[in-house]
C-alpha cells in the first residue's frame, strides 16, 4: 500500500520537488558571491569590443528551406513507417500524402 502512495504522480512530484529544493538551499550557501557589483556586470560583452547598442540581425533566408525540407521528410518517414500495409484505404491515403509531400518539396526547392 505504501508503494502505491509513494509512486503516485502527485506524491512523487512533491518528493522530488522537496529533494531539489533542499539541494538548492544547500548549494546556494556554498555559492561564490562577490561583495559588490562591478561596474561592467550589466554591460553586454561583444568579444572585447565596446558594444554600441546596434543589434546583429541574422539572416535566416537560407535556414528556413532546409528546416522545412527536414520537417517534411521526417513527417513523411513517420507516416510511411507507421501505416499498416494490409489496409488498402489507409495505404492509399499514405501514398497520396507522400505524393503531396514530393510536390511540396519540388515547390520548396524550385527557387
Residue 36 falls inside a structural domain = no
Any domain includes 55:
no
Residue bearing the bigger pLDDT, 53 or 28 = 28
Residues 27 and 68 in one domain: no
Give 9 or 89, the one with higher predicted confidence. Answer: 9
Long-range contacts of 13-22 (CB under 8 A, 24+ apart): none
Residues 105 and 40: their CA atoms lie apart, in Å, by: 49
Q: 51 in a domain, yes or no?
A: no
| CA 33 – CA 41 distance, rounded (Å) | 13
Instruction: Kindly state the DSSP code that residue 40 receives in the 8-state scheme.
Output: T
Task: Tell me whether residue 49 is in a domain.
Answer: no
pLDDT (0 to 100) of residue 40:
65
By the 8 A CB rule, do 76 and 98 touch? yes
User: Is residue 90 situated within a structural domain?
Assistant: yes
Average pLDDT score over the chain: 79
| Residue 41 domain-assigned (yes or no) | no
Residue 110's alpha-carbon distances to 12, 60, 65, 107, in angstroms, are 53, 18, 11, 5
Total number of domains in the chain: 2
Query: Is residue 16 domain-resident?
Result: yes
Q: For 46, phi and psi rounded to 5 degrees?
A: -125, 65
At 71, is the pLDDT very low, low, confident or very high (cuts 50, 70, 90)? confident
**Whether residue 27 is found in the same domain as residue 66:** no
93 or 85, which is more confident? 93
The reply to whether 70 and 27 lie within a common domain is no
The helix (H) or strand (E) run that includes residue 70 is helix 63-82
Q: Are residues 67 and 25 part of one domain?
A: no
Residue 38 lies in a domain: no
pLDDT digits (tens, 9 = 90+) for 75-87: 888 888 888 777 7
What is the number of other CB atoms lying within 10 angstroms of the CB of residue 105?
Answer: 16
Domain of residue 4, residue span: 1-31
pLDDT, residue 95, reads 85
Amino acid at each position: 500500500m505504501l508503494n502505491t502512495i509513494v509512486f503516485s504522480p502527485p506524491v512523487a512530484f512533491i518528493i522530488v520537488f522537496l529533494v531539489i529544493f533542499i539541494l538548492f538551499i544547500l548549494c546556494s550557501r556554498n555559492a561564490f558571491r562577490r561583495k559588490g557589483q562591478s561596474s561592467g556586470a550589466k554591460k553586454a560583452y561583444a568579444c572585447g569590443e565596446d558594444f554600441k547598442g546596434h543589434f546583429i540581425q541574422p539572416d535566416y533566408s537560407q535556414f528556413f528551406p532546409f528546416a522545412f525540407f527536414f520537417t517534411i521528410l521526417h513527417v513523411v518517414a513517420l507516416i510511411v513507417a507507421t501505416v499498416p500495409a494490409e489496409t488498402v484505404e489507409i495505404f492509399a491515403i499514405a501514398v497520396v500524402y507522400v505524393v503531396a509531400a514530393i510536390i511540396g518539396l519540388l515547390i520548396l526547392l524550385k527557387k
